[in-house]
Amino acid sequence: MSQTAVPDAVRQAVEGIAMRARSAGRELAQWGTDVKDAALHAMATALVEAGDGIVGENRADLADGERDGLSAGLLDRLRLDSGRIAQIADALREVAGLPDPVGEVLCGRTLPNGLRLRQIRVPMGVVGMIYEARPGVTVDAAGLAVKSGNAVILRGGSAARRTNGAIVAVLGEALEREGLPRDAVQTVDDYGRDGARALMTARGMVDLLIPRGGAGLIQTVVREATVPCIETGVGNCHVYVDSAANLDEALRVVVNSKAQRPSVCNAAETLLVNQQVAQAFLPVAARALAAEGVKLHADPRALALIPGDVDVVPATEADWSTEYLSLDLAVGVVEDVEDAIEHIQTYSSGHTEAICTRDLATATRFVEAMDSAAVIVNASTRFTDGGQFGLGAEIGISTQKLHARGPMGLTELTTTKWVVWGDGQIRT
């Protein structure tokens, strides 16, 4: 996307969508938890029932993506089948079972003058999402928006246009059948990049914009948007294997962090190994990773310890800051935990860092030094996820520090307002 002018017809169309979303959000905010939960269950059922049609549209998107040279990681994110549809439908049901944040009283007190104050959670209003080749995000965003009383406007990218269009239609019809406004879930995909630019600059009509995707997409949105944004998603995640690690446990953590699903933002992209255990750990880890199809990008000390039958290349400076989203992994040998901390602080994107150690002091030092959204001790980076954290689905992983950080669930889609009750008090 660039800062070229948006055609008037596109801007007017997107602003019309935003105004309908604002009206729908105001209506949705008035409904109670039971009504919203019933709608989420209806949406889940409708997705499963329409599964064959959605998969058919998805096959067409996949064919276009393969023709256009989409990466293996993006194709994996784009792909839907009956199993994945069942999973995203289950995620909607899980959101329905979560506590409703709307109306929660955060604090309350009575002032000396008798005024009674309460700070309560309320919906954001209209949330915009810009992402690419992730139809699961379409469902997660819609579900979280409905539960938190928000309307959502989606820009899911040209690669998933057919899939997302089919999903939005199914969800809108389900909302309407439940007596809720179908305009609570809309898309601007039909307007392409111009539609995305119009959404990014719909200040006053869209309350919050969340970009989710690669570094280029996120930085473009943050740089060009006039709507308030939250940065999400870029995950140059690290695993550090300490000298006091249980090496069998560390091996499982490393392989799972990298290979369980390499195309997602919480997959590990760099492995750092303490020099004291590198000779024992790296050959075994290299072969285990190679068995999963992982290609290693190793620094000189790691390169000397990796068996010759493993797919490995010398690491370049660029490898340490790369979010591969593929079966590639940068590997380095470090002196100690301080060396690992310095490396991570230099190259991390602020998403997730993990340490494998049985030394409490070392673990504590690592946790305190890491300035990332999630820091994990003796477990896979793949756990940084709204569902895994018990938040239900997520709308993204925030890597910034304002308003929301880490997995963005229901609470992060609300703001607050102060309610003041008086008995005729005046200020003097």
CB-based burial of residue 159 (10 Å sphere; 0-12 exposed, 13-18 middle, 19+ buried)?
Answer: buried
Q: Does residue 269 sit in the same domain as residue 330?
A: yes
Task: Give 15's DSSP letter.
Answer: H
Q: Is 50 exceeded by the pLDDT of residue 376?
A: yes
The set of residues, in sequence order, having a beta carbon less than 8 Å from that of 143 and lying 6+ positions away, is 40, 43, 91, 92, 95, 392, 393
pLDDT over 90, % of the chain: 85
CATH number for position 318: 3.40.309.10
The reply to whether 428 falls in a domain is no
Quick: pLDDT tens for 321-344.
999 989 999 999 999 999 999 999
Nearest to 70 by CA among 135, 3, 140, 132: 132
The pair of structure tokens assigned to 219 is 């930085």
Q: Does residue 399 sit in the same domain as residue 321?
A: no
Mean pLDDT confidence for 199-226: 90
pLDDT over 70, % of the chain: 99
Which residue's structure tokens are 């239609």? 169
Higher pLDDT, 206 or 235: 206
Asked if 279 and 391 touch (Cβ cutoff 8 Å), the reply is no
Quick: pLDDT tens for 98-128.
999 999 999 999 999 999 999 999 999 999 9
The reply to whether 2 falls in a domain is no
The pair of structure tokens assigned to 41 is 């269950």
CA distance 425 to 107: 21
pLDDT, mean over the chain: 94
The reply to whether 219 falls in a domain is yes
Q: Does residue 322 sit in the same domain as residue 178?
A: no
Q: Is 80 exceeded by the pLDDT of residue 132?
A: yes
Q: Does residue 250 sit in the same domain as residue 162?
A: no
Quick: pLDDT tens for 256-295.
999 999 988 999 999 999 999 999 999 999 999 999 999 9
User: How much is the pTM?
Assistant: 0.82
The reply to whether 157 falls in a domain is yes
Q: Is 80 exceeded by the pLDDT of residue 215?
A: no
* Count: domains in the chain: 2
- 116-123/105-110 β-pairing: antiparallel
Asked if 324 and 269 touch (Cβ cutoff 8 Å), the reply is yes
Q: Does residue 352 sit in the same domain as residue 367?
A: yes
CB-based burial of residue 110 (10 Å sphere; 0-12 exposed, 13-18 middle, 19+ buried)?
Answer: exposed
Q: Does residue 294 sit in the same domain as residue 404?
A: no
Q: Does residue 252 sit in the same domain as residue 193?
A: no
Element at 69 (helix H, strand E): none
Confidence at residue 233, expressed as pLDDT on a 0 to 100 scale: 66
The reply to whether 389 falls in a domain is no
Q: Does residue 87 sit in the same domain as residue 165?
A: yes
Quick: pLDDT tens for 226-236.
999 987 768 89
Structural domain containing residue 263: 237-383
CA distance 266 to 382: 5
Confidence at residue 280, expressed as pLDDT on a 0 to 100 scale: 98
Q: Does residue 216 sit in the same domain as residue 242?
A: no
Q: Is 90 exceeded by the pLDDT of residue 407?
A: no
The reply to whether 365 falls in a domain is yes
Q: Does residue 310 sit in the same domain as residue 214?
A: no
CATH number for position 102: 3.40.605.10
Per the document, the length of the chain is 428
Asked if 302 and 278 touch (Cβ cutoff 8 Å), the reply is yes
Mean pLDDT confidence for 309-327: 95
Confidence of residue 72 (pLDDT cuts 50, 70, 90): confident
Element at 52 (helix H, strand E): helix 51-67
The reply to whether 427 falls in a domain is no
Confidence at residue 2, expressed as pLDDT on a 0 to 100 scale: 47
CA distance 358 to 247: 10
Alpha-carbon distance values, 185 to 127, 164, 373 (Å)? 10, 11, 29
Q: Does residue 41 sit in the same domain as residue 182?
A: yes
Quick: pLDDT tens for 351-375.
999 999 999 999 999 999 999 999 9
Q: Is 50 exceeded by the pLDDT of residue 56?
A: yes
Q: Does residue 83 sit in the same domain as residue 136?
A: yes
The reply to whether 426 falls in a domain is no
Phi, psi of 123 (to 5 degrees): -60, 155
